[in-house]
Amino acid sequence: MIIDKLYENVEKKSCLCVGLDVSPEYIPESIKAKYNTLAEAIFQFNKRIIDATFDIVSCYKVQIAYYEALGIEGLFTYMKTLKYIKSLGGIVIGDIKRGDISSTAKMYAKAHFEGDFECDFITLNPYMGFDSIEPYLEYVKNKNKGLFILLRTSNPGAKDVQYIESKDNKKVFFHVGDEIHKISKDYKGECNYSSIGAVVGCTYMEEAQNIRNSYKDMFFLIPGYGAQGGKAKDVALYLNNGNGGVVNSSRAILLAYKNYENGELRFDECSRFEVLKMKGEIESAIKL
């Protein structure tokens, strides 16, 4: 199952996930000048960062909105980026956060688990109800695909809905977590984690241990590290002995070159250095 491959990557490499959420202003001017189109410059930027980090990271998360915003050429770049990661034998998470009625969800599932935009995992938003998740399950069962479903997110506005308490004094996100956990049990791999996991932001440290203890056998996609304020000590609480989740960082890695003199010329090396730095910080926090 795909979750076994991801678990093994974390064991062999690290729990790090590079987020290729690439905005045009992130691209060094020297790279923009080298290629005829912005779309091609973004792909080459992605390719060099992938090549520089592939031996260290467990997977890549590609946020589709950054590519949709550039129109057809942007979606072509999204497709090329996915296919390049797959050509290396890597694991790719399509960060699409879809959530819609069943008939529409079937089309989203087909779009992102088949054809040009095929990914290993995709992110989904369950807050429209769990019938919106059902059309994806056949791909998890029969096509070796996986899901990361939003449980508790890292943005400040998460508290507007996810933190509302029910009559039993239980926050909404725990009700969502219980449902994800219930569904996930039918899709477990040999590693004892399921190919249906949850997105859990690492920016609210106070609930970390409670969430991890409540869902011990659930695999987490953990955003919020770096630019969003998450620290290594926060991340360590969401992991199980260094596994059981992947930690995403985007801007801190993509823009690492801005921290170094002449970094623009070797932006990929700067990204690699940032990944190694993150890896060391998280591993030290896990040991503590």
181's tokens: 């956990």
Amino acid occupying residue 16: L
- What is the spatial distance between Cα 257 and Cα 197, in angstroms, rounded to a whole number? 32
Element holding 18 (H helix, E strand)? strand 16-19
Q: Tokens 């795909």 belong to which residue?
A: 2
Q: Which of 47, 86, 97, 159 is catalytic?
A: 97
* Alpha-carbon distances of 194 from 15, 20, 143, 162, rounded to whole Å: 16, 25, 14, 23
Which three-class secondary structure state does DSSP give residue 148?
A: strand
* Cβ 122 vs Cβ 96: under 8 Å: yes
Q: Tokens 């590609």 belong to which residue?
A: 62
- What is the spatial distance between Cα 103 and Cα 146, in angstroms, rounded to a whole number? 20
Count other Cβ atoms within 10 Å, centred on residue 196. Answer: 27
Active site residue 97: yes
Amino acid occupying residue 183: I
* Residues annotated as catalytic (active site), given as ranges: 97
